[in-house]
Amino acid sequence: MKKVLHTSDWHLGAMLHNEDRKEEHRQFLSWLLKTIKAECIDVLVVSGDIFDVYAPSAAAQKLYYDFLAGIIKMGNKPEVFIIAGNHDSPYFLGAPSDILSKLKIHVVSVLDTEKPENLVFEIKDDSGRTALTICAIPFLRERDLKISGSAHGPDGSDSITAQYNKAAADFYHKVYGIAKTKNAPALMTGHFYLDGSQKSDDYSERTREVGNLHGLPAGMLPDADYYALGHLHKCQAVNGKNHIRYSGSPLPMSFSEAEDKKYALIAVFDEDSDETKPIVQLKEIPVWQELRQISGSTDAILEEFRRIKADGRKVWIEIQVTEHDGDLYDFWNTLENEASFTAPLELPLTAGELLLEAPYKIIVRQDMRVRGNTDDWRDGDESGDLSSLDPAEVFHKFMLEQKITPEHAEAFMKMFNELYNDVIVNENGAMGT
């Protein structure tokens, strides 16, 4: 029996509205080490986005290498496979790969499509027989697959997307074909958006869908025994198939994930069974910093805030005012008094502002239209500093000001995310958050 722990999308170094999450990540990695030991894990697979940016901070790097040191110190340490995601610099992540491989820590980031055999690893049992193969495939960029050609075919179809999907699927079949010669179950990694899967939102996940606009159709991939996928932050089985899995991120990466439970996945391959696909167990990850999202009318927001306050927990709260007649001064003054802030609020508050008074950290996100005293529609206060906002939020704010219809806004948001990701994942540029 071989037990594989599947995790992904750590995003070490990530901030949430300029708030440092180092302590949350430290506690997660400590929990992960304890879980690996307690569950007697044979193989650890991390399916991309280890870091949040191409050039991670020294603090983020220390978290990563302290974790690897903890793995190395284990008596019966697992074999480790770390693949690069779209947020990872292939060259930065892969720099120490030669040294780490001697410690059975395999970092696969820089891809040579001419040597697919280098991506297939064998996990042996006690008798020396191959019990499991790991096909460690990182995030595939268009340049990796040598995609070229016009953006649109003569029939108006997206030929680059079609080229990408075919080239990616062909490459997966090629690697899978090599793995199957080992006569053992095959686990394949991937870092992409797969058709039929669910995103948490369009802000935190930067919809870097493969082939520009579309997800990779699951039907084009080989029938591997388990897909250990990364990129999406919601833990899920794709299209109801228990062996095609996103582990999701260990921390909520945005307030839209505040209510989501987070998991590490354990895939158990039974060598004595005729079934080559594993049994998948969900290991719930503890919450070290509670997030809450409150939206609606000012009265509803205050009522919910009072319930949170009565519980006495340390909570980071995102407040989104979506219904109100008149100005919001009375509301913010009431909230100030309810929260017992030590310093008076400077009104008007702007979207993206963070109120840092303990025990509450309150995010103000007025990115919905609020009815004022006049017949004009406005989006909160227009005098705020846009530097405090996420680029996608700025674009969303602009569309609201231009009164773009929801149908068109959704399409424009998708195009914005594609263009933005093309900028942040280019070879020489640094990744955004």
- Tell me the CATH number at 162: 3.60.21.10
Residue 353 domain boundaries: 290-389
Q: Same structural domain for residues 165 and 221? A: yes
Token pair 């309150």 is found at: 362
Q: Same structural domain for residues 313 and 188? A: no
Mean pLDDT (the chain) is 81
pLDDT greater at residue 363 or residue 285: 285
Domain boundary among 237, 253, 284: 284
Domain boundary among 284, 305, 340: 284
Q: What is the DSSP string of 134-146?
A: EE------TTTTT
- Residues 45-76: pLDDT tens digits? 999 999 999 999 999 999 999 999 999 999 88
**Is residue 417, in this structure, part of any structural domain at all?**
no
Percent of the chain with pLDDT over 70: 75
Q: Same structural domain for residues 200 and 217? A: yes
Q: Same structural domain for residues 360 and 231? A: no
Rg (CA), the chain: 23
Q: Could you tell me the two tokens for 319?
A: 């407040």
**Is residue 259, in this structure, part of any structural domain at all?**
yes
- Residues 325-362: pLDDT tens digits? 777 778 888 887 777 765 666 666 666 666 655 466 77
- Residues 162-176: pLDDT tens digits? 888 899 999 999 999
Task: Identify the helix (H) or strand (E) that includes residue 44.
Answer: strand 43-47
DSSP 239: G
Q: Could you tell me the two tokens for 332?
A: 């913010």
Confidence band for 225, pLDDT divided at 50, 70 and 90: very high
Q: Same structural domain for residues 256 and 304? A: no
**Is residue 116, in this structure, part of any structural domain at all?**
yes
Answer whether residue 370 shows pLDDT above 70: no
Predicted confidence at residue 372, as pLDDT, reads 33
Task: Identify the helix (H) or strand (E) that includes residue 190.
Answer: strand 186-191
Cα–Cα dist 210/109, whole Å: 17
pLDDT greater at residue 341 or residue 278: 278
The alpha carbon of 330 is separated from its chain's Cα centroid by a whole number of angstroms, namely 38
- Residues 371-395: pLDDT tens digits? 333 333 233 333 344 444 556 667 7
Q: What is the mean pLDDT of residues 287-303?
A: 90
Q: Same structural domain for residues 227 and 300? A: no
Does residue 11 contact residue 87 with C-beta atoms inside 8 Å?
yes
Tally the domains of the chain: 2
**Is residue 402, in this structure, part of any structural domain at all?**
no
Answer whether residue 417 shows pLDDT above 70: no
Does residue 12 contact residue 25 with C-beta atoms inside 8 Å?
yes
**Is residue 415, in this structure, part of any structural domain at all?**
no
Residue 14: C-alpha distances to residues 86, 122, 224 (Å): 14, 34, 32
Handedness of CA 409, 412, 414, 417 (dihedral sign): negative
Predicted confidence at residue 196, as pLDDT, reads 83
| CA torsion, ordered 104, 113, 212, 218, to nearest 10 deg | -70
Residue 206: C-alpha distances to residues 79, 200, 253, 306, 423 (Å): 31, 10, 11, 34, 12
Q: Same structural domain for residues 264 and 299? A: no
Predicted confidence at residue 294, as pLDDT, reads 87
Predicted confidence at residue 367, as pLDDT, reads 39
